[in-house]
Structure 1
Amino acid sequence: MPPTSGAPHDGAPAEHGHWFHRLHQRVLTSAVGLAWSRGREMELMHRAMGFAALSLLTLVPLLIVVASADLASGQGFARWLIQGLGVSEVSQEEVERIFGKPGQALQRTTAFGLAALAAFGVTFGSAVQTGYERVWDLPTARWHTMWRHVVWLAVLVASLLLFVGTSTPAHTSTAGTVLLAAADVTGAFLFFWWSQRFLLCGRIRWRALAPGAACTALGLLGLRVFSQFVFSPLIASNAVTYGEFGTVLVLQSWLVGVGFVVYGAALVGRMIHEHQVVRRLDREPFDLP
């Protein structure tokens, strides 16, 4: 007959495993677990890294040429990055050193080169469209919708010009800073709200896209604050360690963050919309025919 001394302890591992299983299931069915699962399904991090790579290869060269035409700023594309990153004065010098003097890119670019840059920029719009389609589980749009990429790219460049033109002055009051930040968030919300509707060819309603646009605008604001405390000192330290290549590495990391916010916020926005639909149906039950 087996000893009975170990009997009270036999159920402890099973009970512990049952408790862990319940906790695991609760996490998986929670909002965070659902967001994690959907992010893995759409390969969110890989898409964010692809967003950064395409930005550096296709969009940044075009923006350098466009920004070089803004001679009034005196800094060209470097000023755009400084405003987006929100870096300190020491890091600003490193960014300005990377992108050279304003005006040179525009003077040395031929008509064929400018057309090639525009064509590469259109591919960036196509990648953003594909990411939004994966967020909403939509089929790929047909080839004749490529004109939307051209329009979206033009609006993007115009929005960046407006963002830099309304930048925060060096010496401004707290109330002025808050108002400008609110204006930036509002502008980002309107742009990404329209971008989703436009790139998805109107297949998703405006109301469903609003939460994602709001999350994107707030996420970009948070990324800008994060950049001031993390990326700004990294630019200064990496410039000493790796030279100009270190600044490019930090810029690439920041672009990965931008891509993660753009796609991840759209995914969170879809989940918020679905939650709102479920709550509305619970409040207003309907009878099946």
Structure 2
Amino acid sequence: MAEQRGRPSRARWIRTRSAWLQQRTATLREAPFLRRLVAQLVHVNVLDSATRLAAQAFLTAIPVLFVLAAFMPQAVRNSVSESLRAVLGLRGASLDEVQQVLHTNPSTTTDAFGGIGILVTLLSATSCSRVLQRLCERSWYLPHLAGRLAAWRWLAWLLVWLAALVVQGHIRTGFGAGDGLGAVLYLVTASLLWWWTQHLLLGGRVPWLPLLPGAVLTSAALTALAWGSQLYVPRSLNRSVTQFGPLGLVFTLLSWLIVVFTAITLGIGIGYVVASQGRLARLLGTPEPEDG
């Protein structure tokens, strides 16, 4: 009897919540741009989302580096090392720490992990894509996509971004043509990756065109941060490693990841506001927010 009494109450709560969300998003669409922007940033909860993403990305990165060291050929490990050096500007003691992981004896690392350990590592590494999916859904006012429908998307996102990591060093140098071409290539490839990321993690519930502003904003912010990291990260990392050893590397990288994911959260969140602006919304075919 208690369960039956609880069902109507829960149904009323869902209807009330749906009506409130629909009214709120409709009001936001009619509000001035700056007011809608502030409301969106509060709704997305920028700092909390960025911190959670940074923590999950960091927890993902370390096990995945060991997996790369265990199973990838030496050429791939060299490419990853070059990508980290190019993107973060690693050199000196900090670069030595990363290379020590990537150049571990493959047979020793494989014995330590084992096949089951590798599978568990990859599955746990999808935690970052799960948090990122929730950010995209929250930014677009969409209900959460069930795990059974989204699980393969989490793994696909992880594998594609690992592949992208391998070639980042070559992209940043313009495949040997210079930093100018490298900056353009980095901006274009980052835009394509974040465009695809949103569409994938949203389960195709939003058409491609409305996702483009968020992809461009995110890639522009990350391009600026990538070049800024060349000035800040190497000095900070080497100083931290010298003073605190590997623990200093952890703190500095985690702090930088929070900055990076703050830019990503802002890019995706603001992208929705831009894509739903009056005439641009009609041009892009931006859908109305779903109830939920």
CA-to-aligned-CA distance 1:198-217 (integer Å, 9 cap, x gap): 11011111111001111111
Match of 1:137 among 122, 138, 141: 141
CA contact 2:60–2:128 (8 Å) conserved in 1: yes
CA-to-aligned-CA distance 1:84-125 (integer Å, 9 cap, x gap): 2124x3355454366363444456421011000111122222
CA contact 2:136–2:268 (8 Å) conserved in 1: yes
Displacement of 1:250: 0.9
Quick check: 1:200 aligned with 2:202?
yes
CA contact 1:59–1:120 (8 Å) conserved in 2: no
Seen in structure 2, the aligned counterparts of structure 1 residues 190 and 106 have a Cα distance that, compared at 3 Å, is farther
Seen in structure 2, the aligned counterparts of structure 1 residues 278 and 103 have a Cα distance that, compared at 3 Å, is same
Give the number of the structure with larger relative contact order, counting CA–CA contacts within 8 Å between residues 6 or more apart: 2
AA in 1 matched with 2:127:
T
SS across alignment from 1:110: helix
Identity %: 25
Quick check: 1:277 aligned with 2:279?
yes
CA contact 2:77–2:102 (8 Å) conserved in 1: no
Tell which deviates more after alignment, 153-162 or 188-197.
Answer: 153-162
| TM-score, structure 1 normalization | 0.75
Match of 1:83 among 78, 86, 93: 86
> In 2, Cα distance between the equivalents of 1:71 and 1:147?
28
Quick check: 1:113 aligned with 2:117?
yes
Unaligned runs of 5+ in 2: 1-30, 284-292
Displacement of 1:33: 5.6
1:247 alignment partner in structure 2: 249
2:126 alignment partner in structure 1: 122
Displacement of 1:76: 6.9
Root mean square deviation, CA, Å:
2.8
Seen in structure 2, the aligned counterparts of structure 1 residues 102 and 76 have a Cα distance that, compared at 3 Å, is farther
Structure 2 matches for 1:147-186, cutoff 5 A?
Answer: 147-168=152-173, 176-186=178-188
How many pairs were matched up? 249
The structure in which a higher percent of residues are helix is: 2
CA-to-aligned-CA distance 1:165-189 (integer Å, 9 cap, x gap): 545289x6xx621112211211111
CA contact 2:60–2:124 (8 Å) conserved in 1: yes
